[in-house]
């Protein structure tokens, strides 16, 4: 079964969606989209370091993503606005990563594959990493769901309930770094944030509870991954961007439907 590259690609897309979508809900609720973007951009530096030291790409991307998240946490509130700090770190890490890749003369590397993903080249080993990482992220989010939700909605209420908001932020940061490392093979560093936030944003207007939003975002992301893969195969388009295009179209339809629903309620 896994000898079919399309089957491996489909499983990789579904695994990535399973990891990214529930976490994306917290990214949307906390307005952390730029933070996710900065972490993803930093991953290309991790790719370069992994190849330079003959380490697994997953390990390098994960370590650098964690370092980026730690730097942001340490430097925030020290005279720089958060969006400025994230912009500087994100684009600096991406630039240093691309420059570092250019020095790898003995290693052949397709930079575009890491920037925009190369899901069709996913191997059995990559599938193991993707689904293993997805399992850890899903287990982590499920375990800390109530605490994460309370800390997201009201930090003061969280403290009164004995929940440390900083600890929950650290859990979220760890999970985000894992998603970046898992998704780099599928959609690439430039499109990871899209898979985090767009499914969650698309289902938000129609979700009555946080749990429903997390489940709906996961279903939408998985469907978009499979649909984007089929369209990419049919029309010979880049697979990672095609998956993001599909989920972006879903967001557009969702926005129009939500607007019509609000208009109808206002008239009645």
The Cα 141–Cα 172 span in angstroms is: 8
Distance CA 201, CA 27 (A): 10
pLDDT averaged over consecutive 10-residue blocks of the chain (268 residues)?
Answer: 74 91 90 78 82 81 82 68 76 82 70 79 87 92 92 90 87 86 83 90 93 94 93 90 93 91 75
pLDDT of residue 32: 79
Residues 6+ apart with CB under 8 A from 104: 48, 51, 52
**Short-list 251, 134, 261, CA closest to 201:** 251
What's the confidence (pLDDT) of residue 79?
64
- DSSP letter, residue 208: S
Q: Are 51 and 109 in contact (CB under 8 A)?
A: yes
Cα–Cα distance for residue pair 95/111, rounded to 1 Å: 12
Query: What is d(CA 229, CA 7) in angstroms, rounded to the nearest whole number?
Result: 10
Burial class (CB in 10 A: 0-12, 13-18, 19+), 204: middle
Give dist(CA 77, CA 29) in Å, integer: 21
CA nearest to 12, candidates 136, 118, 111: 118
Query: d(Cα 180, Cα 107) in Å, to the nearest integer?
Result: 23
Domains of the chain, each with CATH number or no CATH: 5-190 (1.10.3470.10)
What pTM was estimated for this model as a whole?
0.86
Q: Given this model, what pLDDT does residue 76 score?
A: 64
């Amino acid at each position: 079964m896994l000898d079919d590259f399309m089957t491996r690609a489909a499983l990789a897309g579904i695994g990535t969606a399973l990891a990214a979508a529930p976490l994306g809900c917290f990214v949307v609720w906390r307005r952390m989209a730029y933070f996710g973007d900065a972490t993803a951009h930093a991953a290309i530096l991790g790719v370069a370091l992994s190849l330079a030291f003959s380490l697994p790409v997953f390990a390098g991307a994960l370590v650098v993503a964690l370092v980026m998240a730690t730097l942001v946490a340490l430097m925030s509130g020290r005279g720089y606005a958060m969006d400025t700090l994230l912009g500087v770190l994100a684009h600096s890490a991406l630039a240093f990563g691309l420059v570092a890749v250019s020095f790898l003369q003995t290693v052949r590397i397709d930079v575009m594959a890491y920037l925009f993903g190369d899901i069709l080249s996913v191997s059995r080993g990559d599938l193991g990493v993707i689904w293993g990482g997805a399992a850890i992220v899903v287990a982590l989010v499920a375990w800390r769901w109530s605490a994460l939700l309370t800390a997201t909605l009201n930090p003061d209420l969280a403290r009164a309930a004995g929940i440390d908001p900083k600890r929950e932020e650290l859990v979220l940061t760890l999970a985000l770094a894992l998603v970046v490392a898992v998704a780099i093979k599928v959609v690439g560093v430039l499109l990871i944030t899209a898979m985090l936030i767009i499914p969650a944003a698309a289902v938000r207007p129609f979700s009555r509870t946080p749990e429903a939003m997390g489940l709906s975002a996961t279903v939408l992301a998985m469907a978009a991954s499979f649909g984007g893969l089929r369209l990419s195969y049919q029309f010979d388009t880049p697979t990672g961007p095609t998956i993001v295009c599909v989920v972006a179209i879903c967001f557009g339809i969702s926005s129009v439907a939500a607007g019509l629903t609000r208009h109808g309620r206002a008239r009645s």
